[in-house]
Chains A and B, each alone.
Chain A
């Protein structure tokens, strides 16, 4: 129970232990702890930032999709209009063509008919003259009875 030199030794060991702890133990461990703390804080901050960015991106995507939809419907409307227009044009063109061709056909037919009539008339008049000549044996003068013959031809 006496106080003796053990006290001095203990005090010296005490200082050595403190110095070792101060130099080789405390800073390393506390440093690691603080570094980890910082890492975690950074990680959380990055997470928050990423979430914010994600939300922004989502909003942007939404607006883009909206715009695209609008544009698509606009294009569709335009296409429909265009289609209708083209159809109408084609229809009117077709009708016009039909009219034209019909008219041309009609004109040709008429022409053809007239020509046929004319030829027929010529032939009939020639026949009639020939027939009449034969009947009347030269008594009918073609020159004299031209009016008569023309009337006849018209009647045919």
Chain B
């Protein structure tokens, strides 16, 4: 199944390369990673369809097993969101649910055998693709910056007076002084620190998920390289059979471990988003 005559290097880079479509000829930015967009939307549709199906039939009577399962998830997310987010918002808990399930599904793509979907792709003429959307920096940044946009929106509207309340925090925290002159001087490091912090939030949020998933996917690919260029005939040679068994055991062990990672990363992404949203609703005046 491995891709033809190429070496391990080519195999790996093939798997980590996005299938792209240029919107504007020759420009780097106006390019779309077709595979990432396809899978991310597909997973979003699966998530929305599944949950909507349950939501439509949701009743206060005896729940079906599916409804029970969904309610378990929603109850869990609701509890988490309430524990961390102290304000009153209709947005936060659904946002947390969306992130958790969607990111989980994206990460879950990692557990599908690395060559299965690209192989199916070759059947319809697509030479290479990346099946795990969360190993694409654009996807993770797309979500983390999306979260930050919402955070900015709330920061501007919740902290009164409009926008100024938020900007004032930039100058007065973390170092504060009752003396106006001292505070004016402290504003310089304050503003610097706050800008760094504000940028660091979405970047770290996106990079954390990307890094974990990318590394996980890379290890799956490396495990798959073990039997690269082996044919069916090699399965009956001693070396081929041994490598096959070793690869199977390694892939199994890593996949089992990865179940934990993908859930954990989805959870972390969700929790941090809620934490940031909570910060946007809280004024520092309280402490």
Q: Which A residues have a C-beta under 8 Å from some C-beta of B?
A: 1-11, 13-18, 20-22, 24-26, 28-33, 35-36, 39
Q: For A26, what are the chain B residues with a Cβ–Cβ distance below 8 Å?
A: 55, 74, 93-94, 97
A33: B residues at CB distance < 8 A: 60, 71, 74-75
**Known contacts A3-B138, A10-B139: does B94 contact A22 (CB below 8 Å)?**
yes
The chain A residue with its CB closest to the CB of B23 is: A5
Q: In whole angstroms, what is the CA distance A25 to B100 when docked? A: 14
Q: In the assembled complex, which residues on chain A have CB atoms less than 8 Å from the CB atom of B136?
A: 6
A25 near B55 with CB under 8 A, answer: yes
Are A30 and B74 in contact (CB-based, < 8 A)?
yes
How far does the Cβ of A19 sit from chain B's closest Cβ, in whole Å?
9
Residue from the set A3, A20, A21 with the largest chain B CB neighbour count within 10 Å: A21
Q: Which 5 A-B residue pairings sit nearest by Cβ, starting from the closest?
A: A10-B142, A6-B138, A35-B60, A32-B58, A28-B55
What does the 1/0 interface line of B130-168 toward A look like (CB < 8 Å)? 000000111101110110010000000000000000000
**B33 near A21: Cβ-Cβ < 8 Å:** no
Cβ of B115 within 8 Å of any chain A Cβ, yes or no, is no
With A10-B139, A10-B143, A13-B44 in contact, do A28 and B56 touch (Cβ < 8 Å)? Answer: yes
A45 CA to B207 CA, complexed, in Å: 51
B residues bordering A, Cβ < 8 Å?
Answer: 20, 23, 28-33, 36-37, 40-41, 44, 47-48, 51-52, 54-56, 58-61, 63, 67, 70-71, 74-75, 78, 90-91, 93-95, 97-98, 102, 136-139, 141-143, 145-146, 149
Closest to A36 in B: B60
B55 CB to nearest A CB, Å: 4
Complex Cα distance A9/B91, Å?
21
- The B contact surface, by secondary structure, is helix
Contacts A4-B31, A5-B31, A9-B32 given: A28-B142 contact, CB under 8 Å? no
Contacts of A16 in B (CB 8 A): 44
Indicate if the CB atoms of A7 and B91 lie closer than 8 Å.
Answer: no
Chain B residues lying within 8 Å of A2, measured Cβ to Cβ, are 28, 31
Return the chain B residue nearest A34 by Cβ.
B60
A11 to B98, CA, bound (A): 13
Which chain A residues lie closer than 8 Å to B37 at the CB level? 6, 9-10
Contact A17 B48 (CB under 8 A): yes
Take A29-B55, A32-B60 as given contacts and tell me if A6 and B33 are in contact as well, using a CB distance cutoff of 8 Å: yes
Output the least CB separation between B221 and chain A (Å): 15
Shortest CB distance A36–B (Å)? 4
The answer, among B60, B75, B142, for a CB contact under 8 Å with A8, is B142
CA A32 to CA B56, docked complex, whole Å: 10
Tell which of A6, A18, A22 touches B142, judged by Cβ atoms closer than 8 Å: A6
CB distance from A25 to the nearest CB of B (A): 5
Contact check, A29 vs B71: say whether CB atoms are below 8 A apart. yes
In the complex, the chain A residue whose C-beta lies closest to that of B136 is A6
CB contacts (< 8 Å) of B36 on chain A: these are 6, 10
Given the known inter-chain contacts A6-B138, A13-B41, A29-B71, please indicate yes or no for A20 contacting B28, CB distance below 8 A: no
